[in-house]
């Protein structure tokens, strides 16, 4: 299992997308083995390589890692994106958990019934602009630095940029009241490894559409 990390997941964003983002930001090339049918998933389960019978699963450094948070923490620590001490790590964790909550709401939106989508979309925008983005705007303002923690690129910055771009897909002007986050988005997007990931043809996945929702429902029996 040496060589490039290998990612096992569907051909969409889901819980694997943040892992793709973090590896790309660290400048790590990775391979993907897509789960395209129910049988593909069953094969992995039957082979005993999924600790809890679930994906995402990442083969890295001789391990078959599962559980999104565990995978992300490992990558962040391995590639020096996890702060210089326990306090910085705690701040990174708090910021990441916040963006994870927001991204979770956005991630599940396409899977919700049509009659509740509008209401849930409004809730996402409300939460983004009153609960989550003000925290990051204030953090940048209070310490006057380019990054969220320790004035150095960390997992928290990568995660926040991903969350911002997802929120902008819901409402393009969602950052209108957050000038420091607008500047942050520009800075982080221009880091060479991230800029490359944002170009067409990269391993970044498109927003979830109805066609993909149907595929996921079939694979996972939902």
Specify the CATH number for the domain of residue 173: 1.20.1050.10
- 111 close to 105: Cβ distance less than 8 angstroms: no
Average pLDDT over residues 41-70: 95
For residue 137, say if its preceding peptide bond is cis, omega within 30 degrees of 0. no
125 — pLDDT class (breaks 50, 70, 90)? very high
Flag whether 218 is in a domain: no
Retrieve residue 219's tokens.
């694979």
Mark whether 13 and 74 lie in a shared domain.
Answer: yes
Domain around 173: 86-191
- Quick one: CA torsion of 137, 98, 164, 130, rounded to 10 degrees? -60
C-alpha neighbours within 13 Å on the C-beta side of residue 175: 20
Place of tokens 């003000």: 134
Specify the CATH number for the domain of residue 59: 3.40.30.10
Mark whether 55 and 94 lie in a shared domain.
Answer: no
- 111 close to 14: Cβ distance less than 8 angstroms: no
Flag whether 217 is in a domain: no
Residue 187 Cα distances to 24, 67, 90, 109, 180, angstroms: 16, 30, 24, 28, 10
**Alpha helix locations (H) across the chain?**
17-25, 38-46, 68-78, 86-108, 114-127, 133-143, 155-170, 179-189, 192-197, 210-220
Retrieve residue 124's tokens.
């996402």
> What pLDDT, in 10s, does the model give residues 139-163?
999 998 999 999 999 999 999 999 9
Mark whether 187 and 106 lie in a shared domain.
Answer: yes
> What pLDDT, in 10s, does the model give residues 24-35?
999 999 999 999
> What pLDDT, in 10s, does the model give residues 127-142?
999 999 999 999 999 9
Total domains present in the chain? 2
Burial pattern 127-139, b for ≥16 Cβ within 10 A else e, equals bbbeebbeebbeb
Flag whether 31 is in a domain: yes
Mark whether 126 and 182 lie in a shared domain.
Answer: yes
| Percentage with pLDDT > 70 across the chain | 99
Mark whether 97 and 21 lie in a shared domain.
Answer: no
């Amino acid at each position: 299992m040496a060589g490039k990390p290998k990612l096992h997941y569907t051909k969409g964003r889901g819980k694997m997308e943040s892992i793709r983002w973090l590896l790309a930001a660290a400048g790590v090339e990775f391979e993907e083995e897509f789960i395209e049918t129910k049988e593909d998933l069953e094969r992995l389960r039957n082979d005993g390589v999924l600790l809890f019978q679930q994906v995402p699963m990442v083969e890295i450094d001789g391990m078959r890692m599962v559980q999104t948070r565990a995978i992300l923490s490992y990558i962040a620590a391995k590639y020096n994106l996890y702060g210089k001490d326990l306090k910085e790590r705690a701040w990174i964790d708090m910021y990441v958990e916040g963006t994870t909550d927001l991204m979770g709401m956005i991630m599940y939106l396409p899977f919700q019934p049509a009659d509740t989508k509008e209401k849930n979309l409004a809730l996402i925008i409300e939460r983004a602009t009153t609960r989550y983005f003000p925290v990051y705007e204030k953090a940048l303002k209070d310490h006057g630095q380019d990054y969220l923690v320790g004035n150095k690129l960390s997992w928290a910055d990568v995660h926040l940029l991903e969350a911002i771009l997802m929120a902008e897909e819901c409402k393009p002007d969602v950052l209108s009241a957050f000038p420091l986050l607008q500047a942050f988005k520009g800075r982080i997007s221009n880091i060479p490894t991230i800029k490359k990931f944002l170009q067409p043809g990269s391993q970044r996945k498109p927003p979830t559409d109805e066609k993909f929702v149907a595929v996921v429902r079939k694979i996972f029996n939902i």
